[in-house]
Structure 1
């Protein structure tokens, strides 16, 4: 994980911004909604980041359905992405040039994106331990939200760690929201019951203390709005689309932050 991306190497053609944004709106509407309120200068990179994360999640789908060959196939795909991010493999994937370019520009820190990969690796070899789960959430959804803060120019480590807690809280809320479906999917879940999962998510939210974040921090933490609403409900919401109330709550938080 120490190799640097070569700044003078020409990248393959990138996907058009509109195509990336449309894809993200379909596969990750919550993060797409929050990204819409980011400044124009960083929005395309953040949409690329979300599309990259979805690509990692989809790459693991076969790994969950096969006892032996599946996990190995997932590890191979993640290793490929690691080498791309480190600059030791050609970015010959339609999303790879976007991520390499964002690292070169300094929009995202390479180490942050590699943590997202580590979280997906942890999902392939899960440990039935709450501490390990918390680490996975911080490295996955947490590091993803940290990257949004990096895109907005936040450099204070304490603030970025609080954004990690926002992402982890949202991930926990999403697990609550889709709890019955996830239990049937073979995906690694919280090693406990639904009530304990809600408690863990609320602990992440308390750590984030979103109201005291600076303006840019609150803009990067819009997912906390959805996290709080999901964690206040229970799994009876599973399978139901988001209501207008959720979207309006995000919009109001964004307007206050901007």
Structure 2
């Protein structure tokens, strides 16, 4: 079956909803790029479920649809689902990794706080980390990328969560680990919030430093899969400038700077 239209839809979706991953995908091998984009589009669909449902149960029903698609209990009857199934079958991707990503996203549907840094790391590894690992698998099935994927996933996901704090608080949800501000109210106790966020930025930079030591990110066919993580250090300094309000400031970086950072990172791969 020809899935060209499905992959085209995935690319348009990704370009609109997740421009950073879309920009990074431009540096992937042309023959494999659409399949990595299909993974990213699937992740975007899962990440946006909460915003499209009125109660958690409806979100769980949507998640079950994706589980059924991945297990073959129902066909891929939508463009992203069709492209995802085609990619999974073509590259023999581990379906359990994608299902684990869905399971981790159950946290998104409810308002319970993230309990600890360890829980946040597990969430990030199961979501963004799984995407890095699966993208790398498409580029090179033989590459050992488990450790690199975990570091990249934590760094990338936590950076994104820090950027999204204004929307999270407005929606009644936060991914800032409760143990970092125990006894305080994030909305009213600004010193406690600033201290917690500073610790999370340290966590991001620790994982970026560890990622930089991983051979799989420096050379080989799988290395371009980790390019999105190169954007983290563009955003973190914006959160450390005078006048930054974590509950109101939207952290943005011009597209030309993001493209330049990705180009420089891609040039270093041998």
Structure 2 length-normalised TM = 0.80
User: Are 2:263 and 1:251 aligned?
Assistant: yes
Aligned residue-pair number: 242
Unaligned 5+ segments in structure 2 are 181-195
TM-aligned CA distance change 1:85 to 1:248, over 3 Å: same
Which stretch shifts more, 147-156 or 177-186? 177-186
Which residue of structure 1 lines up, in the alignment, with residue 221 of structure 2? 216
Three-state SS of the structure 1 residue aligned to 2:29 is coil
Q: How does 1:50-65 map to 2 (within 5 A)?
A: 50-63=40-53
Contact 1:30/1:223 (<8 A) preserved? yes
Three-state SS of the structure 2 residue aligned to 1:89 is coil
Which stretch shifts more, 146-155 or 12-21? 12-21
Match of 1:240 among 222, 243, 252: 252
In 2, Cα distance between the equivalents of 1:215 and 1:43?
16
Aligned-residue offset at 1:173: 1.2
Unaligned 5+ segments in structure 1 are 1-10
CA RMSD of aligned residues (A): 2.4
In 2, Cα distance between the equivalents of 1:50 and 1:186?
26
In 2, Cα distance between the equivalents of 1:28 and 1:45?
16
Three-state SS of the structure 2 residue aligned to 1:90 is coil
In 1, Cα distance between the equivalents of 2:260 and 2:224?
15
Aligned-residue offset at 1:160: 2.7
Q: How does 1:1-258 map to 2 (within 5 A)?
A: 15-63=5-53, 66=54, 70-106=55-91, 108-125=93-110, 126=112, 127-157=114-144, 159-191=145-177, 192=180, 193-209=196-212, 212-213=215-216, 214-234=219-239, 236=244, 238-257=250-269
Structure 1 length-normalised TM = 0.83
CA deviations on 1:4-36 (whole Å, 9 max, x unpaired) are: xxxxxxx79663433321221111000001111
Aligned-residue offset at 1:155: 3.1
TM-aligned CA distance change 1:241 to 1:208, over 3 Å: closer
In 2, Cα distance between the equivalents of 1:217 and 1:14?
24
